[in-house]
Chain A
Amino acid sequence: IRSYYAAKAIIQESKNTSPKLLMRAFCPSLATNRDKLAQVLWVLNWVSVITGITLFSLGLFLKVEIEKRREVMSKEIDSVPNMLISVGLTACAINFLGGIICNDCVDTSKFLRWKLLMLPYIICTFFFTFCILLGALMCYIMRSDLEESLFWGLREAMLYYKDTDMPGRCYIKRTMDMLQMQFQCCGNGGYRDWFHIHSLPNELVIFRRLRSNVEGKYLIDGVPFSCCGLYSPRPCIQHHITNNSAHYNYDYQTEELNLNLRGCRQALLEYYTQIMHSIGLIVLVIWLFEVSVLIGVRYLQTAMENVLRQGDPDCESDGWLLENSIADTARYNFNIIKNLGKCYQVDDDPNIDVPSTSQQTQENVPIKQIPVAR
């Protein structure tokens, strides 16, 4: 170690002599690489602020879409939109800070302000990119949750379809009708679900048309008008659907266009899956972009630190991602944490006498020197 320092002192002295002027003449063109990097990163950070806003608005859009059909969902699916919203806002803040830092990196004197903050900033952003990735993955796994919520929600909505005079449920009929018309679907899994539901209000039923009198309900083989298929060549048949003789020239087993055959659960699931797949794709692209910006900032940080160490702002400096290999860096960081623990133990023990304190200084020296030797 001593010889290393001696060697460094010799190099410094040689730098102080005449070749310096010559180097100055060459150096400015080499130093602009760093400036260019800082400027490019500044622009990229501002673009990232916009992508952060995009993430936020995507989360907001998804939240609004889910709220619109809240009535047919049994439980609130708010984990994914909330995640996207918070990630978007955090991305804006982080990239805004990054833009300011990169702007200041062009000038070494301004960089001194941010010197201590940059490494923690990079580490935080590195962990934050994992959050973005998690957001993208959640978009793809939300499906099963949604399917279950839709199943129970639609079932309940169909049960309450007839309760247009009960407060709190009076708009379910309208919601259900609009849903079936908009998505061209009928019932939960198919139109037969309506046969099991008692859809006429009690006071309107005067004939006891029973198929099977389960729990005193009046079950009829009819569906609401909103199940009618738009592409049917004949006027809609919504009552006595399974009774071929009730209608002229009608066979309900071959008639495909009369009613909407798709179930609303299926239709809504497909709709939301499509939205979430697109959002997931966009979030993945944004994640890649953020990672590349992070790599650029890391290069800039190490280059700036090397400039400060060399003492000559006009000369080129090296930039890197990690000084040693990943295994070495991990081992080094683990050693720091281990030695930190050791340090506190030795300091706090009052029974340790002088000989062990010299041992302590010997132990301390390697710890202190390692950061400097970096």
Chain B
Amino acid sequence: MALMKVKFDLKKRVKLAQMLWLLYWFSVMSGVLVFSMGLFFKIELRKRSELMDNNESHFVPNVLIGVGVLACCLNAFGGKICYDSLDSTKFAKWKAIMKPFLVACLIFNFLLIVTAVLCFAMRIPLEFTLAEGLKNGMKYYKDTDTPGRCYMKRTLDLMQMEFRCCGNNNYKDWFEIQWVSNRYLDFGAKEVKDRISSNVDGKYLMDGVPFSCCNPSSPRPCIQQQITNNTAHYSYDHYTEDLNIWKRGCRDALVSYYGGMMNTIGILVLLVTILQIGVMIGLQYINTSLSTLVNPEDPESESEGWILEKTVKETFTDIMAKMKAMGKGNQVDEGTNEEAPAAS
């Protein structure tokens, strides 16, 4: 009635132990891989934390780093156990902690699955953080003389060139903010005075975008001023012209960049989970096969191995019964304690 019972002789046990030792070392590498992916993700978030208003949550990369380190330790330990299982004297010292270790592995696997789900789900809070951060970033574009914000212009320009995007949702966001510093505006000129007085906040707004929005693939030199004015440029219609500046919004571009990264990391963590489940099952087989030797003194005797001693349902009811018994045991203890003082 055991789950997936398999008969083992010495040769099969030895082969299983060797294969499992190899797989454990492979798992240690995959733990290192998960750790380094977490580190990489953390660094990528840090690089652009200015655009996220220094407000981004580093929860997921931290979890990945922790899980990676834990995976390395657990798998190295498991590899040592496998190596010792070939020799019955050495294996005897591990016998006592095999069961707790396997339970720990099971919990760790659940943790890995949760991490993978987190990776996929982090996209949503990231989108909100980016929207807020980019809006503020664009507001501070012109403040190149304010300490603390003087590099915002460079950061935004670099980002727009690297990710081939313009503005928050699209290029029209630049029309709504003043991105030219007052230091470079001639307040005596009529044109400047007209523009400032044309809106409530007294901002110098224009239908132009910074140079970093320009698309190098455009066949004509970049038109960044008077974009919506068709008559200002020869042979130009801004409705049909789509190679002039980048049409995509930067929030979109960044979310898809980070989203792609997180999807890859999530898929990788799922693959590592599958590997971990595999080695856990293998270790359970080794454990059971070494504890059910027909003749304990003779290492060459046959034995059986299984994943669960009873079927899944029975194991589950067993666990529930044990937990209930533990609970009842406490209650009975309390009852006797109450009677004893009463009796005395």
Contacts and interface: CB of A to CB of B under 8 A. Distances in A.
Same complex origin of A and B? yes
B145 A233 contact: yes
Interface stretch (B41-49, B179-187, B325-333): B179-187
Nearest to A223: B221
Interface string A173-190: 110011001000000000
A233 B144 contact: yes
Contacts of A173: 216, 219
Nearest to B192: A248
A201 interface: yes
Question: Chain A contact residues: over half helix, strand or loop, or mixed?
Answer: loop
B60 interface: no
B153 A204 contact: no
B84 interface: no
B214 A249 contact: no
A231 B153 CA distance: 8
Contacts of B221: 199-200, 204, 224-225
Interface string A130-154: 0000000000000000000000000
Given A200-B221, A224-B221, A225-B214, A234 B184 contact: yes
Nearest to A226: B216
Given A206-B234, A233-B153, A178 B158 contact: no
Contacts of A233: 144-145, 150, 153, 181
B336 interface: no
Interface size class of B (residues with CB under 8 A): 20 to 34
Interface centre among B189, B211, B217, B220 (most CB of A within 10 A): B211
B211 A238 contact: yes
Given A225-B211, A230-B154, A248-B186, A164 B181 contact: no
Interface in B259-281: none
B238 to A, nearest CB: 15
B224 interface: yes
B210 A235 contact: yes
B183 to A, nearest CB: 7
Contact of B211 (A200, A231, A236): A236
B158 A248 contact: no
A107 B25 CA distance: 37
B216 A178 contact: yes
Contacts of B180: 234-235
Contacts of A304: none
Contacts of B220: 164, 201, 204
Contact of A234 (B181, B212, B214): B181
A230 B157 contact: yes
A165 interface: yes
Interface in A229-248: 230-231, 233-236, 238, 247-248
Q: Which of A201, A206, A235 has the most CB of B within 10 A?
A: A235
Interface of B: 144-145, 150, 153-154, 157-158, 161, 179-181, 183-186, 189, 210-212, 214, 216-217, 219-222, 224, 234-235
Q: Which 10 A-B pairs have the closest CB atoms?
A: A177-B216, A164-B219, A233-B144, A248-B186, A225-B222, A236-B211, A225-B214, A225-B211, A228-B211, A174-B216
Interface of A: 164-165, 170, 173-174, 177-178, 181, 199-201, 203-204, 206, 224-226, 228, 230-231, 233-236, 238, 247-250
8 contacts: A206-B234, A225-B224, A226-B216, A230-B158, A233-B144, A234-B180, A235-B179, A235-B180
